[in-house]
Amino acid sequence: MPSGIHHITAITADVQANVDFYAGFLGLRLVKQTAGFADGEQLHLFYGDAAGSPGSLISFLVWEAGARGRTGHGQVFELAFAVPATSIGDWLARALKAQIPVQGPAREFGEPVLRLHDPDGMIVKLVGVDLPATAPLSDQIAPTRLRAVTLLSAAPDETAAFLTRFGYGEVRVEGAVRRMASERDVIDLRDGRGFVPAIPGTGMIDHVAFRAPDAQAVRSMRLGLGTSQGLTEVHDRRYFLSLYVREPGGHLIEFATDGPGFSVDEALDDLGNTLFIPPHDADRAQDLRVMLPQFARPGAERMPQRDLPLVHRFYRPDDPDGSIIVLLHGTGGNEADLMPLAHRIAPRATLLGVRGRATEEGRNRWFRRFDATTFDQADIRSEAAAFNGFMEAAVQSYGLEVERVSYLGYSNGANLLGAAMLLHPGLVRRAILLRGLAVLKDAPQPDLTGAEVLLLSGADDPFAHMAPSLEAALRSTGATVAAQVLPTGHTLGASDLDAAQDWWRGQMPL
């Protein structure tokens, strides 16, 4: 019967930096990439040994530009990989050369340890201990498998008792840390009484999964746990069956089967090369493939990432035609929301999704409002200026061809675009404004001759009465406006796609 750690799942805010660290610097193999089973709009990456063996795996949920979590009790706050005992010096030199934050070497429980910080600030320990890999990687000093996780518990005795269910028993104590061992690896349980509780977020480990031999073992564990806190039903994650539970100290624990494994839908030689969509999301697979963040493997050609004032993301199709569409989401949206629609309008366009930096009750917006139809005029002008500055920097930093850039905005994003056209003439040459309204008071009257705008309103939209004033304001400046009222409400539908496709075809070639 297998025992020990199956995998660890953490959260990253930067998929490219994550791939560069785990697949590039550490040399782990990217063995699977999927849309999330619990949330299809989250990319989920798995790294491990050459075969993606249980016990070698670390996975990441991708929250691009997501909020940082807080270290505290109830959290797995360190993970450790085993590396060949003679390689610690090589790893130290490698980390220093790559300018990766590193501490050590030190000795913990008699083993040499280096502490690294990954791009999200998470602690990754390299422990010099000769533990053979199930499927060795080609790099001779590469990690062989997971060695340990460190749990910070405010109820250490109760946590220790709970962990015995998974084959762990106490073997040694150093200071505030008790070491619990299985047949394959260890857990370092640190006394977290007096610490603040953890807050989930990027740079945090979400959970640790322990190995189950088969589905029956998972179901038996489910029955044995009874009414434990946070206990779930058995989940089919395609590559393993799993069960989740909160142990008494608050850590999220998963119990996962060894099989069927990652080669169930991908040949062993091709592991990690294809983005898979869970079966229950098959009807929106096309949209998810456009929405999920793209990345380049270490050494592959890539577009350089720039640190610009607004959170943004590119989607590049396989055969780009050189056109770029900049996307501005509605209230509560994000930089990826409009990518499926834009991709249907222009399948060969490169998409640049941008996130507004205002918030309202935790929801993303482009500018503040006082109520549904009263808007903060100073904030509109400030955010329009910020967006104009962002686009100037994006054009320069990414080498965008200004004459090939178009814009697509929905609701609050369309409102910002309409205001920005009047406040910053020359910024927008072509725009599709979906449910756009006139929100700017005392608007200037620039010369927008040559600008092309498609304005789509909904006949049943409660805000539709404010759209004609935006149309009139744009027309008065010389912009060419094609305005249509569609048989829909404020939400978008098939008629929006049809109208936008027809208009786009009339704009080509750009």
Q: In this predicted model, what pLDDT tens digit does every residue of 278-334 receive, in sequence order?
A: 999 999 999 999 999 999 999 998 888 899 999 999 999 999 999 999 999 999 999
Using an 8 Å Cβ cutoff, are 61 and 14 in contact? no
Query: Could you please report the per-residue DSSP string of 26-40?
Result: S--EEEEEEE-SS-T
Q: Is the pLDDT of residue 508 over 80?
A: no
DSSP 372-398: TTEE-HHHHHHHHHHHHHHHHHHHHHH
157 φ, ψ to 5°? -65, -45
The CATH code of domain 5-281 reads 3.10.180.10
Reported as a single tens digit per residue, the pLDDT across 23-44 is 999 999 999 999 999 999 999 9
User: What pLDDT, on the 0 to 100 scale, is given for residue 3?
Assistant: 85
The whole-number pLDDT of residue 426 equals: 94
CATH 3.40.50.1820: which residues of the chain? 308-507
Q: Is the pLDDT of residue 51 over 80?
A: yes
Q: Tens digits of per-residue pLDDT, 442-473?
A: 999 999 999 999 999 999 999 988 889 999 99
Superfamily name with CATH number, domain 308-507: Alpha/Beta hydrolase fold, catalytic domain (3.40.50.1820)
- Under 8 Å CB-to-CB from 492, ≥6 apart: which residues? 341, 410, 434, 435
- How far, in Å, CA of 25 to CA of 379, rounded? 43
The C-alpha atoms of residue 224 and residue 123 are separated, in whole angstroms, by: 33
What is d(CA 279, CA 415) in angstroms, rounded to the nearest whole number? 37
- Mean pLDDT of the region 141-167: 97
Looking at residue 428, its amino acid is V
Residue among 394, 410, 383 at smallest CA distance from 303? 394
pLDDT classification of 1: cutoffs 50, 70, 90: low
Percent of the chain with pLDDT over 90: 93
Q: In the predicted model, is pLDDT for residue 509 greater than 80?
A: no
* pLDDT score recorded for residue 304: 84
pLDDT at 495 over 70: yes
How many Å is the Cα radius of gyration of the chain? 26
Task: Report the C-alpha gap between 307 and 363 in whole angstroms.
Answer: 23
Task: Give the pLDDT confidence score for residue 2 in this predicted structure.
Answer: 74
- The CA-based dihedral angle spanning residues 152, 157, 160, 165, taken in that order and rounded to the nearest 10 degrees: -130
DSSP characters over 42-58: SEEEEEESTT--TTSEE
Return all residues near 369 (Cβ < 8 A) that are at least 6 apart.
360, 375, 376
Instruction: Quote the tokens at residue 276.
Output: 């898979």
Q: How far is CA 154 from CA 123, 192, 254, in A?
A: 20, 5, 20
pLDDT of res. 373? 83
Partners of 325 in beta bridges? 351, 406
Average pLDDT, rounded, for the chain: 96
Q: What is the rounded average pLDDT of the residues 162-180?
A: 96
pLDDT on residue 499: 97
How much is the average pLDDT of 58-83? 96
Mean pLDDT confidence for 477-491: 96
10: which 2 tokens?
Answer: 């953490």
Average pLDDT over residues 485-498: 96
Tell me where in the chain the CATH 3.10.180.10 domain(s) lie.
5-281
Q: How far, in Å, CA of 60 to CA of 31, rounded?
A: 12
Q: What's the whole-number mean pLDDT along residues 185-196?
A: 96
